[in-house]
Amino acid sequence: MNDLDHLVPIARELLDTLDQLKASGYADEELMQKARTLHARLASAYERIGYGTGPIHTEQIPPYLWWPAWREKVANTLAMIEGEHPKLRQVKETAVQDEGYDIAQVCRNGHMVNSSSNRTPQFNQDHCDRCGSPTVTACERCGEPIRGHYWGRGLQLTEDEPPRFCHKCGSPYPWTEAGIEAARELAREAENLNKDERGLLEQSLDDVIRDSPRTGLAAERIKRLLTKASKGTAQAIRDILVDIASETAKRSLGL
């Protein structure tokens, strides 16, 4: 017996409730509240598939906008539990038994597209729907798959942010390289800094990307130099470092 079988009646009731809600013109508040309650009770099934752990917030969104995606989510969940959906059948068979990292699909600009590209391939995309950039699933230097969602008994971790470096060869991923280069260009053109200061700022950026004995020193140098740089340049560099700097460096920089 599937350990999610007890959720089948809840999923079916939610589908029926959603259909009634649409038929009412999305005006029946009692049906709306019932749908939210049933939706929350399916959290364990959503998490198993990789949808997340709870209901979406609909209070500020017109129902006709979220209803189609919400209903599809419930229908796919029901299909997974019953083993009838061809793309989700494999998920049902392996989601609990296997343990380890799934493969993340990330666009070249660093947007996480699908943290579970193996187990939920229906969410894969050739291009990012946020920026249009092509997506990748492996390190372009060594071919090692990008780590995504971790599946295991009693422990499931979903990474919303992609890793900055390949865990096998240590190379920066495309989004990390792009961020580093953008920060370097800003440093080279920084207003209110002299040539030596711009060079020191550019050099220090490399030392805050990875944790090393020089990270703290480099972070302090960057903090000092950014107080002299123009406001726009300083803020642009800080915005980039929020995404690519190490956690130690971000703490030192106050990011």
Q: What is the pLDDT of residue 91?
A: 43
Q: Where are the beta strands (DSSP E) in 109-146?
A: 112-114, 135-136
Contacts of 108 (CB under 8 A, 6+ apart): 133, 134, 135, 136, 174, 175, 178
Placement of tokens 């209070």 in the chain: 59
Phi, psi (rounded to 5 degrees) for 240? -70, -45
DSSP 238: H
Share of the chain above pLDDT 70, in %: 82
Give the chain's mean pLDDT: 80
- Comparing 21-35, 69-83, 165-179, 217-231, the range with the smallest average pLDDT is 69-83
Nearest to 14 by CA among 74, 76, 54: 74
Cα 18 from Cα 24, distance rounded (Å): 10
What would the pLDDT profile of 8-59 be if each residue is shown by its tens digit?
888 889 889 888 988 888 888 888 888 888 887 877 777 666 665 444 445 5
Report the amino acid identity of residue 147. R
Q: Specify the higher pLDDT residue, 238 or 3.
A: 238
Q: What is the mean pLDDT of residues 120-128?
A: 86
Domain boundaries, the chain: 5-90, 100-151, 174-253
Amino acid at 92: K
